[in-house]
Amino acid sequence: MGRLDFILEELVTANRILANEGIVDSFGHVSARHPDNPKHYLLSRARAPERIERGDIVEYTLEGDAIDKNAAAPYMERFIHGAIYEARPDVQAVVHAHSADVLPFSIAKTPLRPVIHSGSFMGLHVPVWDIADRFGPNTNMLVTDMDQARDLAGCLGKDNVALMRGHGFAAAARSLIEVVRMAVYVPRNARVLLEGLRLGDITPLSAGEVAARPLDVCSTTSALGPTADKTAR
């Protein structure tokens, strides 16, 4: 199996896993940088993630234009992916999702911090992007063009995850398996943190604990799925 075939199969699997875990709905999406052309990325046409098949995957330029002019209707917020790939040559996979678990931390002054072992994948710092800061109070809060997407990518910077005020989050990683794991555990970490804050002071992960996560496992291109997740423990 060639590199492109492998990535296409893993991208379908990533969609199925994220849908099964309740991370993406009809408006959430996961992409992969094209393995043979770093200025292109692979993303499904607009379709419910649990129904995505290999034939649904479309190749896009970083500007969000489909290479196949006859491609089916795209996701409106596909620009998020291209802007992050453009800004971060190290990133090979991106997830955008609307998980309700992270939303309290996108509107409150309390920062989202890693507090559980699996939360280490998101890193120590999770910035919050507010579309109104640059684009005013009258947008629909969706990222619908490259100007907005590049502003979001700028907020993400070198971090792994950026929250989007009242909207959701964007996650970026060096592989599909890593970005899927991150997208699953960021909401779980948020739930634990929120419950902990109700009890009082919390103890977040230290810089050393975050740095000690198994990077060799995170960056592997092994097939996605339960077996890979068990290997990480």
Span 58-104, pLDDT tens digits: 999 999 999 999 999 999 999 999 999 999 999 999 999 999 999 99
Is 77 a known active-site residue?
yes
* Residue type, position 157, single letter: G
Of 226, 42, 67, 38, which is closest to residue 29 (Cα–Cα)?
42
pLDDT band at 218; cut points 50, 70, 90: very low
CATH match of 3-227 with 3.30.1490.20: no
Per-residue pLDDT, 25? 84
Over 80: is that where the pLDDT of 174 sits? yes
What is the Cα–Cα distance from 59 to 54, expressed in whole angstroms?
12
Candidate list 77, 178, 195, 209, residue with the active-site label: 77
Radius of gyration of the chain (CA): 17
pLDDT per residue as tens digits for the range 95-139: 999 999 999 999 999 999 999 999 999 999 999 999 999 999 999
The first and second tokens of residue 151, run together, are 């502003």
This prediction has a pTM of 0.91
What is the Cα–Cα distance from 16 to 19, expressed in whole angstroms?
5
Question: For residue 16, what are the contacts with CB-CB under 8 A and spacing of at least 6?
Answer: 49, 50, 52
* Residue type, position 77, single letter: E
Half-sphere exposure of 12 (CA within 13 A, CB side): 12
